[in-house]
Chains A and B, each alone.
Chain A
Amino acid sequence: MKSIKYITYSTMQLFWLVALRVLIGWYFLYEGMVKLTNPNWSSVGYLLDSEGFLKGFYLSLASNPFILKTVDFLNIWGLIAIGLGLILGTFSRIAIIAGIILMGLYYFSHPPFIGLKYSLPMEGSYLFVNKILVELAALVVLFVFPTSKKIGLDRFIFSRKKK
C-alpha cells in the first residue's frame, strides 16, 4: 500500500473526511459513555438475543460470568477509546481497525437476514444492510483515506517518532 503520508487532499476532501471521522467518533464515545454511566447495563441481553451462524459463539460469551464481565469491560472502554481516537485523531489507525472489528462483531450477532427474528428492537435495518454495516463501511473509507496525521494529534505523535 502506498504510504499514507503522501496522499494529498483538496481542502473540501480533507474537511469532509475529518468531519466523517469526528462524527463517527462522537457516536462511539456517546455509546460508551451511556453504558459506563448506567450501572445496570450489561451486554448479556444483546448476546443472548443473537441469531445467525455465529449464535453459538455469542451465547458462549454470555454463559460464563467472567467472560461476560470482560466483554462488558471491553465494550465500554473500547467504545470510549475508539471514540476519543477518532475525534482527537490519536492512534486513529488502531482506533479505526478496532472500530471495524467491533462493528463486525455487532453485525454478525444480529445479522439482518431473512427469517431471523430478534426480541430487542432494531434500529435502521433494511434487509442485509443495517446501520451497523453502513458505519462499518464508513470506517473502512476512513481507513483508506486517513486524515489524523493531517488534522489530529497523530500529526505530533508520528512526526516526533520520525525524528
Chain B
Amino acid sequence: MENNKENNTNRKSSESKKIKRREVIKGLATIPVLGAFIYGWYKKQKFDRLLKQAIQEDISLDAVNPVINKNISKGKQIRIGIIGCGSRGRALLKAAGFVHPETIDTWKEEALKNKTDKRYHDYLEQEDLNLVVNGVCDVFDINAEKGQEAASNLNSEGSGGNMGAKPRRYRTYKELLAARDIDAVIIATPDHWHGTMTIEAAKSGKHVYSEKPMTLAVPETYKVVKAVKENNIVFQLGHQNRQNESYFKAKEAIKKNILGRINLIEVTTNRNSPNGAWVYNIPEEAGPSNIDWKQFIGPAPYHDFSLKRFFRWRCWWDYSTGLSGDLFTHEYDAMNQILGLGIPDSAVSSGGIYYFKDGRTVPDVLQMVFEYPDRNFSLVYSASLASNKKRGRVIMGHDAYMEVGKDLKIYVDTGSTKYKKKLDEGIIDPSLPLYSFTPGMKQVDAITSPTEQYFAGRGLLYTYRGGKRVDTTHLHIKEWIDCIRDGTQPSCNIDMGFEEAMTAHMGTIAYRENRKVFWDSDKQKIV
C-alpha cells in the first residue's frame, strides 16, 4: 500500500513536471521566430554594409551636406540703388530683404490654404543683410512705384502695415548713379542695357550686381571687364545657382574622378507656358503716358512705341539675347562651376521659331554645340519653349554619368571598365544611383507656378543651409554684400562673366550668321 502511495505521488509529481514543462514550451514556443528575425536582420545589415563599403571605396563621397562658412552681415550699412523694378528686379529686392506688401498678402493667403507653402515663413527667417534702398529707377511708372513700396517695407508687413520712408525715384539711371548716398547698384533691366549701365556704374565707383547675361553683344563685353577691373568694384553676375549645395557635391565628385573620362555634357531647357516663353502679361494701365519709351530703347535700334516690345522684350534680338543669354547661361554657369569649362574652342547652332509665331525674332527651339578639344568633350545645349519633357542636366563619363539639378545622382555606366568587377559581381546595380544627394532631404516643398517649378527643379530657386530652406538669390546677393564689406571678389565674378558672355555670344553668332564660330584664345576674340 505504502509502495503504491509512493508510486502514485511520484507519478503525480512527474506528471505535474511534465505539464509544467509543456506549459513552458507552449509559452515560449514562438521565441525561436524572434531569434530567426534577429539572425536575419544581422545578416542583412552585414550584407548591406558590405555593399556600401565596396561602393564607398570607389566614390568616397558621403551624404553629409558640405560645410559652408556662414559669415554674418555685420559692419556698416550698405546703401543700394536698383535699376529695373520689374518682376526680376522685385525678386532681387525681396532677396535683399525688401518684399512688396502685396507679395506678403499673397504668401499669407497661400499659407492658409496650403500648409506646406512655407514662402512667408522662409522669408521671415531670411538673414537681415543690413541694407537700405536709397534709390529706385524704372522707365515704367507703375514698376517704379512698386519698387519704392517694396523698398519701404522695412518691417516685412502686408498691405496697410507700418511702412518706412519711400526711397527717392530717379527718372534716369544716370541720375541714380550720380547719387552720393548710394554705394552699390542692382541692375535688372532688359539685356540691352546691362553692359552700358555696368560700365557707367563702375566708373562712378558703385559696386554692381547685374542680372545675366552680362552683355548684349561682344564689343561691350571687353569694356565691361575693363571698367570693372580698373575701378576695383565688386561685381557679381546674377547666377543664383552658384549657391546650390548639390553643385558643391558635384564638383567634389568630379574632382574624385568618379565618372571616369568625361566626353559629353548635355544641358537643356524645357518650358511650356506663355510665361516660360516670355509672353508676359501686359498691364491694362500701361501706355505711352507712363512709359519712358525713349529711355527704354536707349542703345537699341529705334522702333515705334510698342507695348509688346516693352513687356515681352525677351522675344526680340534688339533687347535680348534669347535662349542663349537668358536660359543657356544658367546651364553654362552650372557646368562652368562644376567643371571649370572656360570658353569653348568652337560653336555651331541651329533652331528656329517653330511654335510662338507672335512676331518674335529670337528662336523658341534652339540647339547649340560647343567643342572643348583640349578637354576631350562636347557641351550640347538643346531647348524648347513649347514642351515640358523633363530632360536632365547630364555629365557623361566612360564609367558613370551624373545628373545635377536640385539634387544630384550618379549612375554607373553598364560599359564601365573601372566598375566592371563590381558590376559583374552584382555589387553595383546600374539601374540604381551609385550615389545620390538631396539637399535638405527630410523636407518636402510646395512650389506653385509652372515656371517656378521649372526653376526649382533646376536648383535655381531654393537650396538648403544647415537643413533650412533658403532662397538661392538671397544667398547670392548676400555673397555680393559680404564681398563689398570685406573687399573680396564673389563667386560669379567678372572673369566668370566674361567666359560666360563669350560662350553665349559664340552660340548666338553661330545661330544668327548660320556658321561655325571659333574662339581665338591668343587674341581673346571670336572669329
Contacts and interface: CB of A to CB of B under 8 A. Distances in A.
Contacts of A153: 27-28
A62 B115 contact: yes
B37 A29 contact: yes
B30 A155 contact: no
B115 A87 contact: no
B1 interface: no
A88 interface: yes
A89 interface: yes
A8 interface: no
Contacts of A40: 441-442
A151 B31 contact: no
Contact of A155 (B27, B45, B116): B27
A84 B115 contact: no
Contacts of A48: 116, 444
- Scoring A18, A37, A152 by chain B CB atoms within 10 A of each residue's CB, the highest score goes to A152
Contact of A63 (B23, B34, B37, B116): B116
Interface string B23-54: 10011111101100100010001000000000
Contacts of A52: none
A26 B37 contact: yes
Contacts of B444: 44-45, 48
A156 B23 CA distance: 9
A75 interface: no
Given A42-B442, A150-B26, A155-B26, A87 B116 contact: no
A95 to B, nearest CB: 13
B31 A88 contact: yes
Nearest to B24: A156
Given A44-B444, A87-B37, A63 B30 contact: no
Contact of B30 (A30, A42, A45, A151): A151
A67 B444 CA distance: 16
Contact of A87 (B26, B34, B442): B34
A89 B442 contact: no
A59 interface: yes
A155 B115 CA distance: 48
A4 interface: no
Contacts of B33: 22, 25-26, 87
B115 A152 contact: no
Interface residues of A, number: 27
Given A153-B27, A155-B23, A63 B115 contact: yes
Contacts of A33: 41
Given A26-B33, A62-B115, A63-B116, A152 B27 contact: yes
Contacts of B45: 37
Contacts of B442: 40, 42, 44
A60 interface: yes
A42 B27 CA distance: 36
Interface string A39-77: 010101100100000000001101100000000000000
Given A29-B37, A33-B41, A155-B23, A88 B116 contact: no
B491 to A, nearest CB: 29
Contact of A88 (B23, B30, B41, B115): B30
B34 A151 contact: no
Contacts of A150: 26
B48 to A, nearest CB: 9
B308 to A, nearest CB: 39
Nearest to B36: A26
Contacts of B31: 88
Interface in B395-451: 441-444
Given A26-B33, A153-B28, A155-B23, 9 more contacts: A40-B442, A42-B442, A44-B443, A62-B116, A89-B27, A89-B30, A153-B27, A155-B26, A155-B27
Cβ-closest 10 pairs across A and B: A63-B115, A155-B27, A42-B442, A151-B29, A48-B444, A22-B33, A156-B27, A87-B34, A59-B115, A87-B33
Interface of A: 18, 22, 25-26, 29-30, 33, 37, 40, 42, 44-45, 48, 59-60, 62-63, 84, 87-89, 150-153, 155-156
Interface of B: 23, 26-31, 33-34, 37, 41, 45, 115-116, 441-444
22 contacts: A18-B30, A22-B33, A30-B37, A33-B41, A44-B442, A44-B443, A44-B444, A48-B116, A59-B115, A60-B115, A62-B115, A62-B116, A63-B116, A87-B30, A87-B33, A88-B31, A89-B27, A150-B26, A151-B27, A151-B29, A153-B27, A153-B28
